[in-house]
Structure 1
Amino acid sequence: MSRDRRRVRHPAPPGRLHAGALAERPRAVVVGGGIAGLTAATALAERGIAVELYERADHLGGRAGGWTATLPGGERVGMSRGFHAFFRQYYNLRALLRRTDPDLGGLTALPDYPLVDAAGRTDTFRDLPAVPPWNALAFALRSPTFTARDLLRLNARAALPLMNVTVPGTYRRLDHLDAAAFLARLRFPAAARHLAFDVFSRSFFAPPDRLSAAELAVMFHLYFLGSAEGLLFDVPRRPLGDLWAAAGRHLADLGADVRTGTPVEAVRPRPHGFTVQTRRGGRPADAVVLALDVPGLRDLVAASPGLGDPEWRGRVAAQETAPPYLVRRLWLDRPVAADRPAFLATGGLPPLDNVSVLDRYDEEAAAWARVTGGSVVELHAYAVPGARGPASARLLRRLHEVYPETEGARIVADLSEWRRDCPLFAPGTFARRPAVDGPVPGLVLAGDGVRVDLPVALMERAATTGWHAANLLLTRWGLAGHPLTTVPLRGRVAVLRRLAGLVPADGQGPSARRA
């Protein structure tokens, strides 16, 4: 349940409620079955559009997806690319989830997630005030990584852009800087920098010196300084694959044709639409949604020579991926200590970025732990330098350091995911990102690497671009769109906004009203 009275509701574009009122029912193909593609397909199908969704993997959900794996003992378990936090300010993602779970009973709240550094100092988000800036002040005052001298040394002038984040205004001011340079400009103490800032930047799977300072500022606004929803979050009670399988069934109930294990090979414009090529042949479409990760989008555009002008094609080809990340999930023959949190973030302990104990919240993992007396632990390493093997070994050593009781545990099963498919938001690249509105009529893009001028990030950016992409197509056909909701479009505290310098109203997103 949202508690931020200043959240912003962006009204749905007006129009007819169903394509049945049109002379001819439009056909749309959605390429990609991740969060963005599922959202766009749902938005279109609910308005009566004939939707076909193609996903190259054999499961839905994209990088947040899940599948079934077999353990050495023959047990079938859910597996994924790692822990995902469903924050309360993910309004547009939650709107998708509510299509199949109206009260979001499939999510459960975590009471806290501590942040620990190499010296053993621990910060916590438990019981913080919800409303900015009191949440940030309370966090700093009780943090063991801050001292009174540290607070006095902070460069308040350099921090003012954090107090008046706008999109795209903040990108115009800060996108030329990398996050590491911005942190140095703020004069944050090193330990607090690890815990309060590196945690955010590394959520983008990039080291701070390769991440835009503007992206970091927008993320800080979304989660902390711009929202009263707080920094605590919910997690799925069941394996991640269950969420997206339910979304796929909902699409089928709406009449959509959902095909996994079916990559799209090319998209060819034709006089009144497109031909979407798969191994099964060409499919006609009045509109196409490209909801792909960065490598997939680059490859498909390269294989579709008639799609877009050279300038647009060049921007797509120039999109980069972040460094590799590693997820290692261990089924251990004994439990971790009873006081271990479900999720622990770390700073200054490379390559380990966080540890999750799945049997604290995942019903399937909890059942396995009850039967075996063991535990299910997952280790995450973002922006990994070097090769997979050494990184995996270092991850295990770090686990033994932070949770010493695991050192004598026998590993019953060990599954890993090594991937490099997340977008890189490098300094100076915001203006060159492909936008939701594509280069030819009827072609739109969606995904967490796609530009949308709203304060969103990660899974919420994927869902937001999915709704927005569908709205652009529905408007072309005279059909009603779907509303969007975001955190406030600028800093919450008027006096701090004035100090930072008010940004003109240009680029603050669609016309909006408070919810």
Structure 2
Amino acid sequence: MIAGRDRRAETHPAPGGLPDAGRLGRRPRAAVVGGGIAGLTAATGLAERGVEVTVFERESFLGGRAGGWPERLPDGTEVTMSRGFHAFFRQYYNLRALLMRTDPGLERLVPVPDYPLIDPHGRTDTFAGLPLTPPLNALAFALRSPTFRARDLVRLDGRRALPLATVSVPRVYEQLDHLDAASFLSAINFPAAARHLAFEVFSRSFFADPGELSAAELATMFHLYFLGSSEGLLFDVPAEPFPQALWNPLGDYLSGRGADLRLGTAVRGVARESSGFVVEGTRFDAVVLACDVAGLRRIVAASPGLGTPSWRAAVEGLRTAPPFVVRRLWLDRPVRADRPAFLGTGGLPPLDNISVLDRYEGEARRWAARTGGSVVETHAYASPDGAGLDERLHELYPETAAARVLGEITVTRQDCPLFPVGGFANRPSVVTPEPGLVLAGDAIRVDLPVALMERAATTGWTAANELLTGWGVAGHPLRSVPNRGRLRLLDRLT
């Protein structure tokens, strides 16, 4: 799936201008701070138009929160560790456009045939075989779900639930940003049993408890994956670890276009000068801050000459979600053959999902084939330490209880953005009050129905376009699911 099959997907044309910055007489120089998805996208958008780009990345690897790094098992085997499973949905048009720079056929992505969701009673929902067209997809999911009964449809408060079917950004934030996701689901009488699976899986993708997440963010997610798109709810995953499959090739692609990639280089601050900016001793015409929340706040705090007081306060007001835990186990025996590559859970704290890496990732598959074992990963979102993950794994996959652990790595992080109630109005956008300075990242506001990795990529292209337009150079097109409800009659009722 390359261009996408949803005929109603929206294309936002590229800003016009010169085809290459070389025609300006002097090529502009841009610093991109952050080598995650947003920063790599912005760097690609600028370098492809002939801008001289320098990428500053504090880690020794590219990819940010979707990156990976080398580790060694007790027996000396070299492996690639990451922060866990990432789903590359087929409506992630702008992220896929980035990946196609080095993989035109997206052959480094492989489809996951299904990802069941299970609750404490063993009831399971699946996404395979659903119709693609909204709202038939949601109706079919509800009718075949063991946690959603026909009478639950009658009990739904249709008036209060209407924003779910009529999402338009930013309007949905005006409607729902004052509510948390849990309260909204209660208000529309969404059944508690189905809530664990149909909605909390989405909300916890933000690494947040539904009681802390804006209902508008949840509605936007539901629109992106369900009621706004005909791409379906199945997704792809990289066939090899993130560095090998995605980011190392993209780094080579950027280097081939003259970009300077400075890994292991943290930016301490940005100094404004009359004719540009100074970043780590080098002068630039423009700067893209594509950092995580903590990094953005730190750089702005250390750069007193940037922006206005209200803008600086908005950056300082950004929050991070609670910590999450990723635990990966290299076991001496396989898990049962019928286990899915990915299993989501609801109501089974602290566990949120289980991944069997050797079902889809080449490095893990080769290790499993050589040892006769398996590579299993568990995630705990909004959890301080993930205590109890192994017990939940053994409960759901009993065959793992007797397995010997040949290697284990546990990663705990707290650097994902939180989208709290009432936070949208003050969320910083790509454009800043400082000419030549733009922001990018999944914490940054962009008025399109995007989320997570797709928001990171979308803001990256948007940041590049903003700078290119200022120089009179052509930008890049964007795509999104429709930024309106698919049912026009309901849309007119809001």
Give the TM-score range, shorter chain: over 0.9
Give the aligned partner of residue 178 of structure 1.
180
Residue 382 (structure 2) pairs with residue 379 (structure 1): no
Instruction: Return the alpha-carbon distance in structure 1 between the equivalents of residues 135 and 38 of structure 2.
Output: 32
Per the TM alignment, residue 434 of structure 1 is displaced from its structure 2 partner at its CA by 0.8
* Pick aligned residue for 1:268 from 251, 271, 282: 271
2:319 is paired with a residue of what secondary structure? coil
Q: Which moved more, 1:251-260 or 1:490-499?
A: 490-499
Matched, 1:168 2:170: yes
Number of the residue aligned with 2:41: 39
TM-score normalised by length of structure 1:
0.95
Does 1:153 find its partner at 2:147?
no
Percent identical pairs in the alignment equals 67
Runs of 4+ displaced beyond 4 Å: none
Aligned to 2:306: 307
Q: Distance in 1 between matches of 2:9 and 2:391?
A: 43
Task: Name the stretch that deviates more: 293-302 or 150-159.
Answer: 150-159
- Please name the residue that 1:247 is paired with: 250
Distance 1:253 1:68 in 2: 25
Match of 2:311, as an amino acid? Answer: W
The TM-score normalised by the length of structure 2 is 0.99
Q: How does 1:269-348 map to 2 (within 5 A)?
A: 269-277=272-280, 282-348=281-347
Q: Select between 208-217 and 242-251 the one with higher mean Cα deviation.
A: 242-251
User: What is the match of residue 235 of structure 1?
Assistant: 237
**Counterpart pick for 2:410 among 416, 419, 424:** 416
For 1:128, the equivalent position in structure 2 comes to: 130
Q: Which residue of 1 aligns with 2:113?
A: 111
Deviations 1:259-278 (A, max 9, x none): 1000111101100110112x
Paired residue for 1:448?
442
Letter in 1 for 2:250: A
Of 51-60 and 239-248, the range deviating more from structure 2: 239-248
C-alpha separation in 2, matches of 1:3 and 1:353: 30
- Cα distance in 1, alignment partners of residues 202 and 51 from structure 2: 38
Residue 141 of structure 1 is matched in structure 2 by 143
Q: Of 189, 206, 209, which aligns to 2:208? A: 206
Number of corresponding residues: 491
Alpha-carbon distance in structure 2 between the residues aligned to 1:252 and 1:8: 32
Aligned ranges for residues 488-499 of structure 1 at < 5 Å?
488-499=482-493
**C-alpha RMSD of matched pairs (Å):** 0.7
Asked if residue 477 in structure 1 is aligned to residue 476 in structure 2, the reply is no
Q: Distance in 1 between matches of 2:312 and 2:490?
A: 41
One-letter amino acid matched to 1:293: D
Stretches of structure 1 that go unaligned for 5 or more consecutive residues are 502-515
Distance across 2 between alignment mates of 1:262 and 1:154: 53
Q: Equivalent residue of 1:413, what SS?
A: strand
Query: By how many angstroms is 1:498 displaced?
Result: 2.5
2:79 equivalent in structure 1: 77
Task: Specify the code of the residue in structure 2 equivalent to 1:344.
Answer: L
Cα deviations by residue, 1:413-466 (Å, 9 ceiling, x for unpaired): 000110000000000000111110012100000000000000000000000000
1:7 and 1:149 map into 2 onto residues whose CA distance is: 33
Please state whether the residue corresponding to 2:269 is helix, strand or coil: strand
Question: Shift of residue 473 of structure 1?
Answer: 0.2
Partner residue in 2 for 1:427: 421
Cα deviations by residue, 1:295-342 (Å, 9 ceiling, x for unpaired): 000011111111111111111111110000000000000000000000
Partner SS, residue 416 of structure 1: strand
Instruction: Find out whether 1:257 has 2:256 as its counterpart.
Output: no
Could you report, residue by residue, the CA deviation over 1:163-218 in whole angstroms, capped at 9, with x for unpaired residues? 11001000011000000110001111111000000000000000001000000000
SS of corresponding position for 1:204: coil
Which secondary structure state, in structure 1, belongs to the residue aligned with residue 268 of structure 2? strand
**Cα deviations by residue, 1:130-166 (Å, 9 ceiling, x for unpaired):** 0100000000110000122222211111111111100
Give matches, 1:462-473, under 5 Å.
462-473=456-467
> What's 1:220 paired with?
222
CA distance in 2, matches of 1:344, 1:224: 19
| Pairing of 1:185-204 with structure 2 (within 5 A) | 185-204=187-206
Q: State the SS of the aligned residue for 1:258.
A: strand
